[in-house]
Structure 1
Amino acid sequence: MSKKSVIFGSFLRRYRDKPEVFRRRLKAGMGLEIFRRKHFAERNKSEFSNITNYLAVEEIYNALKANKSVWVNLFAPSEMLLAMGLNPLSAEGIAGVMTAMNLEEYPLSLAESYGITKSLCSFHRASVGSAYWGIFPSPMMTVTTTILCDGNPGSFGEMARKYNVPFYLIDVPRGRKKEYVPYVEKQLLELVGKLEDLTGKEFPRDKLSNILVKENSTINKLNEAKQLMKTKEIPIELFEQLNILYVLHTLAGDERLLNGVNQLVKDLENSPKKEGKRLLWMHIPPYFDNILFELFSPYGRFRVITEEYWWDWMYPLNPNNPIRSLAEKLVFNPEAGTVEDRALFNLKLARDLNIDGIIHFSHWGCRQSNGAAGYLKSFFSKNNIPFLNLDGDCVDHRNLHPEQLKTRIEAFFEMLED
């Protein structure tokens, strides 16, 4: 993130032991940032980046205002929340805010003091620690799935317990089989009842259908963008990849996201072709300011064109049967399958986008990313796509070793040039 975020974090640090004051100052700062991004967009960035950066900050701001927020994981069916007029917030985004301001050490330590194991993903530890800290007002509930991340049930359940709010877990069996759909659909119908109890309102199925219509339009536009991205690109900083993947999941079907993706197509149409090496990033990049931002600068020769999680959620939806369709979307997500499914998904993506090499980031505490790295390296080697696995931490500054990373990345760049 920007140096302004770190400076603001230094200011907030003095209120560490006064969570209510901390929250007010953070909310005021986020409010100013929202105003700046809305009225004074950065001229050196694409319109698409400005829109998605704004939407990512707005999610946090809504949560700080206690504005009908529901804390979710990346794969939760946020369309159902949007239909009820609720604001989904990626709980991982809370950890992102803390690390962007260089404040993650305190919620991580706080989580440990409450018995949260250090081996757990630091996104989860920082989010749970922030809940213990009390710097965010209570959400209305927490909703998560079992897709990809085995830490979700415990972490989201603990955050719900801390705030004394409902917790709902959607169990999505691994394997992407058609026979799983009725089981997941039943859970989504139960979630409808939970949302009706929570809000005192009848669930608006017509509104959900309209959201799915917009989501299909968003998918169509993203596929149009993908065609353009075979030869074109827009400059995207590494941390902005994270903002993009968050809002693509939590705001799928939202008019604002559709407008952003429409702008992506326009930005690509107006962008020149560039020389250099085109890279695909697998798993999540670090969010704090670090040497990777420089090495993978969008203005350099080795550029990250896109990120794996831009594309996994795209599934053709049936607005006439919205709950069933969302169940299918969850079941058939490539991240709900085997490591082979994930590898094949990314192989197709790499070939579709004329990718020269793949960077896979094995995030600390993420068993899925760490456990898959060896297989993925072998798989992409057999398919003649250069692959580099990097070990590090997306949240905790202390677990990233810049000089080691730099040496390995520069060697990888040399190989790409040969």
Structure 2
Amino acid sequence: MDHENAGADRTPPSPPPELFSHEFATDPYPAYAWLREHAPVHRTALPSGVEAWLVTRYADARETLADPRLSKNPAHHSEAAHGKGKVGIPGERSANLMTHLLNIDPPDHTRLRRLVSKAFTPRRVAAFEPRVRELADRLVDGFAERGSADLIHEFAFPLPIYAICDMLGVPAEDQDDFRDWAGMMLRHGGGPRGGVGRAVKRMRAYLAELIHRKRGDLGDDLISGLIRASDHGEHLTEDEAAAMAFILLFAGFETTVNLIGNGTYALLRHSEQRRLLQDALAAGDTGALRTAVEELLRYDGPVELATWRFATEPLEIGGQRIGTGDPVLVVLAAADRDPARFADPDTLDLTRGDNPHLGYGHGIHYCLGAPLARLEGRIALTALFGRLPDLRLAAEPADLRWRGGLIMRGLRELPVEFEPVRG
């Protein structure tokens, strides 16, 4: 963090915090508080060597997420800002997987979003609820009698991966392969090298082959819906369908892994809030459960930074001049703890009513899969805290490891103990 911010409110009384360290990964919120106060729009070198602007205040973040002058297309990235060998810029690898909603602008984005939305409807998500409950209960059954578990690997990870595979229409006999490929990307942050690169290639090849097979035998699954999707005579191309299936699979499981993991961890560390949740579950208060999930998304959400944006012309954010081609990253985790928008933002309050958090973004790129993630989050918390009422952390918080990376925030493991449940 060696760049000064011309838009800072005052001369900082202390050196800026170190970003991207082990301490930062464990708890980034003190650093984000410093940035919000002293350098709300701050240019810094990322671990990849790429320099980008970090936007940390809620009002600035909300405006930035909806600003049409900021493109999602990496082609707008300035060559000067690429840093060390263009490392870390999305869209520079696996080009045939990159034609998806996160990397394109209108009018292509408008067309694809309209087409995909036809296959990803609230009705389809709601109809999926019994299957997600069945999966959650089966996973809890797998460790309930043991009295201990790693909730990331035994629950938070397999629940959404199997759920999204079912929703996409991946046959049951192939879903363990998807679990292995997704696990490789989750453990290593989706980088292009080694086993991760092989996992991406295998997943891409499998999706292409599955789409080809389904064209001759359409069902009621999401991939079949993507194939059927058309509007004014337009259809998804083969590459667009494969890319969309890939991003729905990857984004659809990793955000939910982190929602379940981060949310459960927060509840295990806030006993009074955990009691509120369990009281709501006992009373069948679905409204309170929905409100609780929204607060968990705000307090320590699964997505730390929104995906990349690139300035298509000079502009100003929070009083700071942004140059054409500069990368911009909106820090959702910082915006959602902004005291200018949220009362007592560092306090977990499951009854918080006024809670327009940015956990799943804002504007035209708002997460298409947010309703499914919320559904899975509600079901997961119900299964864990409803069936395992004495669930407790089985490690010191300082000993837990958080996955590195810029976009997602999540635990590598979450060891827990509880009274064994027989039968």
TM-score (norm 1): 0.27
Larger radius of gyration: 2
Structure showing the higher helix proportion among its residues:
1
- TM-score, normalised to structure 2's length? 0.27
| Larger relative contact order (CA 8 Å, sep ≥ 6) | 2
